[in-house]
Amino acid sequence: MPVANKGWASVAEADLYFTDERNISTLWTALADDDAKNRVLNMAYNRIFYCASVSVPAAGVETAAQLVGLIIIQAEMAYYLLKHLNDEDKRKGIQAQGVIKAGVVKEDYDKDMLTKIPMPPIVEELLIDAGYLTSKPLFGMIDIDRDENESVDEKVDEF
């Protein structure tokens, strides 16, 4: 029984993206058949669609304009999974065992990252650009009121 596609990108659309737009696509082209491609596309869709911090339209209800970007996002997530899922699974397994430092490979594991699902930077940025993901600002400014008589030019670091 063939593997059904349940995401935004069909195999044909993903093939077109990898052929026309992505320079390195050897892992995608090495997949055995359309079923293998659909499995990784479905995994990519699930990781994006069910991510708590991401708000994307379900497959089939997106607009034509949204679909263009969502195909790229899904294809890029699929490629990330092809390249990194095996290592990600191993590291999450190590973290689940409570390991925070692996001496042989010289890796440190952040215990707070165990339940976090990695999102590749390109996918994250595309989601932010499309308004599907809000990032936490690294720097922010707010208005504050001064409750003193000194001017803002007053040096307060000199004793």
Summarised one tens digit per residue, pLDDT across range 28-44 is 999 999 999 999 999 99
- pLDDT reported for residue 109: 80
Average pLDDT estimate for 56-76? 97
Backbone angles phi, psi at 101, to 5 degrees: -150, 130
- Spatial CA neighbour of 44 closest among 13, 1, 2: 13
Q: Which residue has the higher pLDDT, 155 or 129?
A: 129
Give DSSP secondary structure letters for 24-87.
Answer: --HHHHTS-SHHHHHHHHHHHHHHHHT-TTB--PPTTTS-HHHHHHHHHHHHHHHHHHHHHHHH
**61, pLDDT greater than 80:** yes
Contact 116, 124 (CB under 8 A): no
